[in-house]
């Protein structure tokens, strides 16, 4: 029985990793081929567009999922109740944010985004796709979650990659990329709904506005935390564009994507499997389970990033030689600075989910806000002085702060819990 369960878990991890790497590989190959076959400037424009879409999705979602998914993990929520009431909240969110979207669309004049409606519905269905991914993880179905993620992020990128490789003279605009992306985001939404547990009871399930109101209160704190975290992750791209230009942004974006590969691998292989267990252990006041989950995240993070760093030393020279862009050769150290930041970011997740489990979101907000302040200040100072190296160092500084503050708050929670238990 134990061996069968172990084999099942390993198979799930392999299938999950396979789906995630397919999607991530397609997106990375797209970044790689845009740089090689089109230009670093187009790569910079593409980065700005995907960054803008990612930031707007945050406003649409309001981090409502933190409240509902935590209840799913704890087993205290009817699954279809969650889906229906969440969709009710999101519907109001999409309507209220429509005028903001309209203003932003008309202010972004330096890139041809194509149709407003394509961008608007892309953000809606991309957001819903993200929510289904998170929900299926909470439902302990990471394989299907990552299948949906592959459809949403990998297939459309793969189509463009195939054309760039095999269709000589192939060209594509930002607007056409957004149209293709929208198509597969919509397909993901349809599949997420069709396979959701208990979907046949959707229309008979009650709408509870008091539950939604409580979720907004929890989500607000985490929403502000996410804004801080995404400011750390993305503000450097806008500042690089402002101070240095799109070519430098293209160089930085390529190395960021290369470093970000390991973030996805760590989350897919271990964190996505472990964090529901940490939240569940907190709910059950199981200190052994908490420590086991946190230790797993830390050990596997060190292992995977260490292996990745060794392999990158061997393969990056071949990779750069194939791309053949002179601007990339002199900036290889940026990758290793970013990789160090990835290490600290992933280590901080061991503390993050403990705090989430204890429903102490204000501590997460404090940690991310302080880290964000240090990061943005460093970006403003260092990018004009050191170029894209300044951006990489600033992101590292932000992740160091994030790790330190989350560790401190997590240790305080555990100390108080132990004292309460002893008394």
Q: How many CB atoms lie within 10 A of CB 398?
A: 31
| Residue 62: predicted pLDDT | 79
Which residue ranges in the chain fall short of pLDDT 70? Answer: 1-10, 13, 75-77, 110-112, 418-423
Per-residue tokens: 277? 């267990």
Report pLDDT digits (tens) over 258-281: 898 888 788 877 787 788 888 888
Q: What mean pLDDT is reported for the chain?
A: 86
Distance (Å, whole) CA 310 – CA 302: 12
User: Residue 184's pLDDT is what?
Assistant: 96
In the block, tokens 């970013």 appear at: 338
CA nearest 81: which of 194, 211, 189, 214? Answer: 211
Residue-wise pLDDT tens digits, 283-304: 888 888 888 999 999 999 999 9
Environment class of 291 (CB within 10 Å of its CB; exposed 0-12, middle 13-18, buried 19+):
middle
C-alpha torsion angle, residues 294, 295, 297, 302 (rounded to 10): 140
pLDDT tens profile 199-252: 999 999 899 999 888 888 877 888 888 888 888 888 898 899 889 988 888 889
Task: Give me the residue spans of the domains in the chain.
Answer: 1-207, 246-423
Q: How far is CA 143 from the centre of its chain?
A: 17
pLDDT of residue 77: 57
Phi, psi of 324 (to 5 degrees): 75, 30
Residue 12 falls in which region: left (phi positive, over 0), alpha (psi -120 to 50) or beta: alpha
Q: Yes or no: say if 118 and 173 are a contact pair by the CB < 8 Å rule.
A: no
Model pLDDT, residue 1: 44
Q: Which two tokens stand for residue 69?
A: 């998914």
pLDDT of residue 319: 79
């Amino acid at each position: 029985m134990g061996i069968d369960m172990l084999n099942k878990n390993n198979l799930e991890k392999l299938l999950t990793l396979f789906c995630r790497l397919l999607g991530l590989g397609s997106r990375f190959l797209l970044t790689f081929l845009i740089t090689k076959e089109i230009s670093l400037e187009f790569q910079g424009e593409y980065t700005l567009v995907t960054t803008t879409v990612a930031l707007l999705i945050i406003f649409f979602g309001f981090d409502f999922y933190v409240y509902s998914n935590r209840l799913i993990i704890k087993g205290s929520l009817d699954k279809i109740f969650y889906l229906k009431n969440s969709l009710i909240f999101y519907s109001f969110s999409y309507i209220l944010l429509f005028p903001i979207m309209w203003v932003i669309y008309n202010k972004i004049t330096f890139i041809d985004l194509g149709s407003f409606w394509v961008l608007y519905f892309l953000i809606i269905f991309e957001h819903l796709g993200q929510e289904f991914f998170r929900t299926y993880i909470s439902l302990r179905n990471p394989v299907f979650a990552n299948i949906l993620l592959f459809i949403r992020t990998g297939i459309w990128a793969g189509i463009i990659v195939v054309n760039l490789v095999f269709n000589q003279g192939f060209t594509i605009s930002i607007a056409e990329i957004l149209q293709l992306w929208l198509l597969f985001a919509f397909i993901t939404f349809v599949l997420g709904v069709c396979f959701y547990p208990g979907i046949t009871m959707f229309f008979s399930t009650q709408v509870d506005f008091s539950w939604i109101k409580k979720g907004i209160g929890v989500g607000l704190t985490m929403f502000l935390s996410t804004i801080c975290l995404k400011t750390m992750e993305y503000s450097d791209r806008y500042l690089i564009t402002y101070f240095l230009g799109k070519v430098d942004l293209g160089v930085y974006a390529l190395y960021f994507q290369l470093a970000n590969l390991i973030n996805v691998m760590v989350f897919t292989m271990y964190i996505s499997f472990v964090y529901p267990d940490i939240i569940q252990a907190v709910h059950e006041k199981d200190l052994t389970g908490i420590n086991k989950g946190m230790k797993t995240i830390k050990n596997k993070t060190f292992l995977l990033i260490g292996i990745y760093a060794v392999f990158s030393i061997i393969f990056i020279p071949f990779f750069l030689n194939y791309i053949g862009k002179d601007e990339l050769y002199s900036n290889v150290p940026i990758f290793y600075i970013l990789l160090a930041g990835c290490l600290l970011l992933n280590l901080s997740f061991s503390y993050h989910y403990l705090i989430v489990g204890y429903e102490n979101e204000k501590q997460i907000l404090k940690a991310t806000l302080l880290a964000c302040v240090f990061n943005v200040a460093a970006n403003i100072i260092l990018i004009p002085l050191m170029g894209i190296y300044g951006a990489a160092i600033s992101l590292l500084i932000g992740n160091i702060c994030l790790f330190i503050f989350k560790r401190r708050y997590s240790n305080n929670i555990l100390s108080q819990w132990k004292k309460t238990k002893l008394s």
